[in-house]
Structure 1
Amino acid sequence: MAHIKLQGRSGKGALIANPNCSTIVCLMAATPLHRHAKVVRMVVSTYQAASGAGTAVMEEPMQQTHEVFFFNASKSHFVQYALNLFSHNAAVFSNGYNEEEMKLVKETRKFWNDMDVKVTATCIRVPVMHAHAENVNLQIEKPLGEDTARRILEGAAGVVVVDDRESNHFPTPLDVSNKDDVAVGRIHQDLSQDGNLGFTKIEYHVLIKLDIFVCGDQIRKGAARKAIQIAENLS
């Protein structure tokens, strides 16, 4: 990925895959943490912008908002986009996951070169013009405190930490629109584990769960700019 070195290059292949935009936004933040303390399970919930579906779809929220407010109805052919959210409009497989969600699963394993990492995702379309937002819950193999995680992310290329609890200032899609960097905030331990400390014992290993919230412009960072940066790495 962009600021994450190309891995697994043998020099024999003619094709290099550009990961899906929702995967890129997620892994720009998760990978620096994974390199410090191995992630064994990741739960991702995405809130994906209209621009990810193309120019025609981008016009729907604005047009439908006008229709709803002035005519109390919408002429949507699929599902009302304005003032609404819905499951990502990708094909749904027999396992219950849709295509977008399975891309996150498969591409994470491929990029991390780890077929054992557990990944589950729920991908939702929201009435936002630009930039995806994603909540990422990481289950990590060894203890990783919030302060350490924050320092790792602050030192990661292509990542900006926006995590001000006192003023309730965290990443938003609007803040990252038309920008190359992804923004990360809401960095905290998952208190759902035993003792409300974010720790649990599984197979004699102490695992910690960490929550982060990530926003990134999926067109600029997740597609166009990413393709350019792959080419630059190959030159």
Structure 2
Amino acid sequence: MTTKAVILTSGGLDSATLLAMAHSQSRECYSLSFDYGQRHRAELNAAKAIAASYGDVVHRVISLDLSAIGGSALTDMDIDVPTTPQEGIPVTYVPARNTVFLSLALGWAEVLEATEIYIGVNAVDYSGYPDCRPEFIAAYQNLIGVATKAGVEGASIELKTPLIHLSKSDIIRRGIAHGVDYAMTVSCYQADEQGRACGVCDSCRIRAAGFSDAGVVDPTRYR
């Protein structure tokens, strides 16, 4: 019996690798992206194109407006995206984003009778986000066990985090081994409408360093 999996896909480097890894394991993949009021909308086009490139991946976009609560440089246009490293939790952290995203992914997984949810959280190059840590994933896995029909009936849905302990360069190497075309991905926090990166935000710096450390030519399109 084929294993169904919901894959959280932003259109960025990590989630493209995540989808490739799940697909290579013969998962029946359901790609899920969010139009959440983010300033870097080009990533949604990237996510759609990446999913379509497989030919057998179902892709869905859920719209919700996290800009209504703001509190992040990614959802509040009055907060500038920083161009220098920050101490502590940066202003690009979106309050409760992964908690919200996983809740919707969990709902879809229940409807599909999927047994896995893949999320590309990373505890190495995680930019200080609290909802990318192993502690968060463990807590959410416990929640799944008590908050879902599947969990109550003894067939819980497993959170899969294959990137959580990998460096950015290791993620890139894994992706290349699985045939990921990183030129299709958009990681920049403030990419333009064509998906071209700024080259100076935290995400751009981490991405560029990853390609350099991996000894791979950076295919990112910069404006």
**TM-score (normalizing by structure 1):** 0.35
More contact order relative to length (CA 8 Å, sep ≥ 6): 1
Larger Rg: 1
**TM-score (normalizing by structure 2):** 0.36
